[in-house]
């Protein structure tokens, strides 16, 4: 083993959603507990784990592209361990060894706590694999989580997804929903402020479907709000069909809950929503947006949209454009439909074709860009409370933080990470705001 002072080093590369990022933090914590040290340098790493996403084909192919690069390292250092973990691992399983025989470990997203024994087994036996079945119990490893630096901390409240959206592979890779005991969730939240995390983001693939006895996500928000040191609460990802009145009222009434909601619409056409098996209509979706906008000052919305779902006509696509014009989202994540093996939509006709999808995606993004430019421009002169989380990559040297409504703000100054600063907006881009600080309000 290529170790200095007998210390083994690990590198985790993460693709995909917040759940994947948080899974990487959990795996990092387990490895640190076993005496491994983190490194950013692949040449120093004894273990390289790719934590993967299989939601779209492109994400999956990037993993195999990266494995091709790692193969050269492995040839030079045969004792290095390469692992594929997360959703691609669960989906492809043994096939990964066939396609990339130099991979040593394959581990699905419900098996994180097994990482130590899988690494040992791979060293002993040459390779190891662990994939979850639907009825496997889930352990939520939390005591050791190695969280990224910064004021925001993720806390898992549930795993899996019981929905059957025709396009989506997540129910196959992450299995059925499993909920965490609210006492365990709260115990984890209570630990976080002392470690520098005053903004808590509750996580689940279907977070607003959370329930435990008669408690739901709304109850969790009320309970977490009372934890000393918690200044902001967020949650993701919500399904519009589970956005019950009680949750919306908790968003309105609980002081620390931020005035931003990510609410994936996927399409603005009822015909497509039905074909996707989303379980709501455009007007029911809009009624939720309307309620929250009236109830909560400065409420901001973001969404996920898919263009080119099988059978999407130009009228359906126009309906999606009219949805974004009507809602005026503050941010949109838009994707060209990608056929995923095993999902119900695989059996549908592969139409529209790639070129139409590409054009629709570009058109949608251009419409959204102009909406964001206009909406952000209207904020010049406004003062926002910004929670500093580091320095920006673009505006060199400027501090970076987020407003409660989840907008990114850059400003000059010398505040520390975790500090709240009131910032007056002086300039606006489509994707961020630039401002000048008023008086610093002190760290959390």
- Residue 22 interacting with ligand SAM (CB under 6 A): no
- Residue 261 interacting with ligand SAM (CB under 6 A): no
180/239 with CB nearer ligand SAM:
239
**Part of the chain binding ligand SAM (CB under 6 A), chosen from 29-37, 137-145, 152-160, 165-173:** 165-173
167/285 with CB nearer ligand SAM:
167
Q: Which of 12, 31, 48, 55 binds ligand SAM (CB under 6 A)?
A: 55
Cis amide linkage into residue 6, ω under 30° from 0: no
Measured distance CA(274)–CA(106) in Å, rounded: 36
128/266 with CB nearer ligand SAM:
266
Q: Which of 373, 365, 367 is nearest to 427 (CA)?
A: 373
- Residue 15 interacting with ligand SAM (CB under 6 A): no
The number of angstroms, rounded, from the C-alpha of 340 to the middle of its chain's C-alpha atoms is: 19
| Burial readout 236-273 (b: 16 or more C-beta within 10 A, e: otherwise) | bbbbbbbbeeebbebbbebebbbbbbbbbbbbbbbebb
Q: Which pair of tokens denotes residue 84?
A: 């594929």
Write down the least CB distance from residue 396 to ligand SAM, Å.
Answer: 32
Whether 203 contacts 226, CB under 8 Å: no
Measured between its terminal Cα atoms, the distance across the chain in Å is 43
- Residue 444 interacting with ligand SAM (CB under 6 A): no
Write down the least CB distance from residue 18 to ligand SAM, Å.
Answer: 10
- Residue 156 interacting with ligand SAM (CB under 6 A): no
Write down the least CB distance from residue 237 to ligand SAM, Å.
Answer: 4
8/26 with CB nearer ligand SAM:
26
Half-sphere exposure of 101 (CA within 13 A, CB side): 2
Q: Which of 167, 235, 384, 411 binds ligand SAM (CB under 6 A)?
A: 167
Q: Which of 17, 367, 430, 440 binds ligand SAM (CB under 6 A)?
A: 17
Write down the least CB distance from residue 334 to ligand SAM, Å.
Answer: 8
Write down the least CB distance from residue 207 to ligand SAM, Å.
Answer: 8
- Residue 409 interacting with ligand SAM (CB under 6 A): no
Write down the least CB distance from residue 345 to ligand SAM, Å.
Answer: 7
The site string for ligand SAM over 266-285 (x = CB under 6 A, - otherwise) reads x-------------------
Q: Which of 8, 26, 110, 239 binds ligand SAM (CB under 6 A)?
A: 239
**Part of the chain binding ligand SAM (CB under 6 A), chosen from 73-81, 91-99, 130-138, 163-171:** 163-171
Write down the least CB distance from residue 341 to ligand SAM, Å.
Answer: 10
- Residue 8 interacting with ligand SAM (CB under 6 A): no
Write down the least CB distance from residue 306 to ligand SAM, Å.
Answer: 5
Tell me, by CB under 6 A, how many residues bind ligand SAM: 19
Measured distance CA(392)–CA(260) in Å, rounded: 21
- Residue 49 interacting with ligand SAM (CB under 6 A): no
Q: Which of 50, 100, 118, 168 binds ligand SAM (CB under 6 A)?
A: 168
Provide the phi-psi class of 81: left if phi over 0, else alpha when psi is between -120 and 50, else beta: beta
The site string for ligand SAM over 181-220 (x = CB under 6 A, - otherwise) reads ------------------------xx--------------
Q: Which of 42, 225, 253, 304 binds ligand SAM (CB under 6 A)?
A: 304
CA distances to 113, 127, 338 from 118, in Å: 10, 8, 32
Q: Which of 49, 153, 157, 306 binds ligand SAM (CB under 6 A)?
A: 306
Q: 204: Cβ–Cβ under 8 A, 6 or more apart, which residues?
A: 19, 156, 157, 158, 159, 210, 235, 237
The site string for ligand SAM over 307-346 (x = CB under 6 A, - otherwise) reads ----------------------------x-xx-x------
Phi then psi for residue 335, to 5 deg, are -135, 145
Q: Work out the angle between the directed axes of helices 314-327 and 354-377 (0-180°, nearest 10).
A: 10
Radius of gyration over every alpha carbon of the chain, rounded to an integer in angstroms: 22
**Which residues here bind ligand SAM, judged by CB under 6 A?**
17, 55-56, 165, 167-168, 170, 205-206, 237, 239, 264, 266, 304, 306, 335, 337-338, 340
């Amino acid at each position: 083993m290529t170790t200095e002072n007998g210390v083994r080093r690990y590198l985790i590369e993460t693709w995909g959603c917040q759940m994947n990022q948080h899974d990487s933090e959990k795996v990092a914590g387990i490895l640190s507990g076993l005496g491994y040290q983190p490194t950013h340098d692949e040449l120093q790493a004894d273990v390289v784990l790719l934590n993967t996403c299989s939601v779209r084909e492109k994400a999956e192919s990037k993993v195999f592209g990266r494995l091709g690069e790692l193969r050269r390292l492995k040839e030079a250092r045969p004792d290095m361990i390469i692992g594929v973990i997360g959703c691609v691992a669960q989906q492809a399983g043994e096939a990964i060894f066939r396609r990339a025989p130099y991979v040593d470990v394959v581990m699905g997203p419900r098996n994180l706590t097994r990482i130590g024994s899988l690494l040992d087994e791979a060293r002993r036996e040459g390779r190891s694999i662990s994939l979850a079945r639907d009825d496997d119990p889930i352990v939520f490893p939390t005591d050791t989580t190695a969280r990224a630096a910064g004021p925001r901390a993720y806390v898992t409240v549930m795993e899996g997804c019981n929905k059957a959206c025709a396009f989506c592979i997540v129910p196959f890779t992450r299995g059925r929903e499993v909920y965490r005991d609210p006492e365990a969730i709260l115990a984890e939240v209570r630990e976080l402020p002392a470690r520098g995390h005053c903004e808590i983001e509750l996580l689940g693939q279907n977070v607003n479907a959370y329930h435990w006895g008669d408690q739901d996500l709304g109850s969790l928000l009320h309970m977490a709000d009372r934890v000393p040191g918690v200044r902001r609460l967020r949650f993701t990802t919500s399904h519009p069909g589970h956005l019950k009145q009680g949750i919306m009222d908790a968003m309105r009434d609980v002081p620390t809950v931020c005035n931003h909601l990510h609410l994936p619409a996927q399409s603005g056409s009822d015909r497509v929503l039905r074909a996707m098996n989303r379980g709501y209509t455009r007007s029911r979706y809009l009624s939720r947006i309307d309620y929250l906008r009236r109830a909560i000052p400065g409420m901001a919305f973001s969404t996920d949209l898919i263009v080119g779902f099988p059978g999407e006509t130009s009228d359906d696509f126009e309906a999606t454009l009219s949805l974004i014009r009507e809602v005026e989202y503050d941010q949109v994540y838009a994707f060209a439909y990608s056929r995923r093996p095993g999902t119900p939509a695989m059996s549908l006709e592969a139409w529209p074709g790639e070129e139409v999808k590409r054009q629709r995606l570009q058109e949608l993004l251009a419409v959204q860009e102009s909406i964001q430019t206009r909406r952000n421009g209207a904020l010049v002169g406004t003062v926002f409370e910004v929670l500093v989380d580091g320095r920006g990559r673009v505006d060199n040297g400027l501090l970076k933080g987020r407003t409660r409504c989840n907008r990114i703000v850059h400003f000059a100054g010398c505040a520390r990470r975790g500090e709240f600063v009131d910032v007056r907006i002086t300039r606006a881009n489509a994707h961020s705001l630039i401002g000048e600080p008023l008086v610093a309000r002190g760290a959390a």
